[in-house]
A and B are shown apart, each in its own frame.
Chain A
């Protein structure tokens, strides 16, 4: 792919900025928000595969995120395994969970799919709370070790950042790779019309299962990264509210676009923190923000640039 000169230069500048970001950010708190933005970008990019490209209304992403976090945390604290084993294990376990979840979801569509996948998410969440022997129940798992990289412990947000940055960029590039492949084209065909896709010889069941597994794997990766970053997890972090936040990020950013998840995660994470100043009104304004954004810019914030340009041209 040929890039124009200005494009190349701007990519290099953005790249350098991202690499040296921790040296500019002194506050641990801001650094933590930045790290969470990266984690959300991974989750939502995965969600975007099944919801945005494949058009399936799958509401179990927060539960998959939890499965990834719990798998990694249990392996690390019970068996003392290294982060570099926990992370791929979490991805594999979540991928299998995605496969199993997809099976009952194949028969239903639209809002029926929504309730089936949400029901499965509720079941998974209830298991996290009640399987006390495995998950320590509502108390959660504490003292999850930080990963080691080249002999250095990534135990602060500043040190964790580069690991996250690399994995997030790889995740986004992998979505791009999928989209440009046969699988991605099949997803979009299914989203546009089941009947037409089937007539073209696309086995929609097969591709939906693939979509579920891919989305779940992304959530698993993010869950593992989250567990080793915050070092404490409990079922509260993977419930309904988490799911709503993730869908809101996807829609506010721009569903079915590559940049949407990044934008949505950034705007809503920082927006939420800035609104803390409003105290009691924080969530009211936050809710209004999401509502208005969905009504007025349903294509998402990714279209803002085009809109501003169109406005300037006076059209």
Chain B
């Protein structure tokens, strides 16, 4: 077995896996604070990619500025989404599923009206020419993903654990009643969480845009895989989501290379299901006690 090739497949898998991680973290954060599984998250990912496209390609901003503007505008959408999603949180899972999915359908079709059905090219900001390190070739976009995504994750971790707002958000997620009694505005905290979750989906969307084509239905497969990643890691645990996403990406890349790319969903889901057979609450999930 060629070591260079192994590393190359590993890097490719990690590159796409980190995208799933970002999406999965969004799911987990929103679930923890609102008790809501937001299946419209894939559509937010898609909107993020289009926002990036608008600022970068249409308005011709330099990439770093376009990136920030794209992420911030998607975060703003997430912030206002809280009011729509509020009645859906903490209700029965099926209603949550279909309510948020219906919202996703609305978003997808609004995007279809605005941007049309044709997939749009997102030019890679660092160019298309692969960089070679010895006998390993890396796409410049993968390098960009490796730089930006971990930075954002670390920043988020610091923000959540150190800043006053972050602490308030965690308190609201942990115990609503006590946090409310302490004067923490719960709905605004939820809105902030949704904004941050959406911003992360936008980061994933803009970073993945040069790899995929930007189109109105690009969100679905990432939404499912991000959700599966979050489940694999243990739902509600952001670190678990990161690791789940990376595992998912590596399995996908390895199975596409060694077996066949036609069955890549089958293999990644087979692994997820197999893991859940042994750890029914995910890898890092804590067992819960069912209340009568």
Contacts and interface: CB of A to CB of B under 8 A. Distances in A.
A80 interface: no
A112 B235 contact: yes
Interface of A is mostly: helix
Contacts of B110: 284
A107 B281 CA distance: 10
Contacts of A118: 224
Interface stretch (B118-126, B157-165, B259-267): B259-267
A129 B276 CA distance: 26
B276 A240 contact: no
B263 A130 contact: yes
A295 interface: yes
Contacts of B91: 298
Contact of B227 (A115, A123, A248, A290): A115
A107 B99 contact: no
B273 interface: yes
A122 B273 CA distance: 12
Contact of B98 (A129, A283, A294): A294
Contacts of B231: 111-112, 115
A141 interface: no
A177 interface: no
B106 A287 contact: yes
Q: By CB atoms of chain A within 10 A, which of B95, B102, B105, B281 has the most?
A: B102
A263 B292 CA distance: 33
B272 A57 contact: no
B113 A281 contact: yes
Interface in A70-117: 104, 107-112, 114-116
B93 interface: yes
Given A248-B98, A295-B99, A196 B292 contact: yes
A308 interface: no
A51 interface: yes
A251 interface: yes
B224 A291 contact: no
A284 B98 contact: no
Given A119-B273, A248-B98, A251-B94, 10 more contacts: A57-B94, A119-B269, A123-B266, A280-B109, A281-B109, A284-B113, A288-B106, A290-B98, A291-B106, A294-B98
Interface of A: 51, 57, 104, 107-112, 114-116, 118-120, 122-123, 126-127, 129-130, 193-196, 240, 244, 247-248, 251, 255, 280-284, 286-288, 290-291, 294-295, 298
A-B pairs with lowest CB-CB distance, top 7: A119-B269, A287-B105, A287-B106, A290-B102, A283-B109, A291-B102, A294-B99
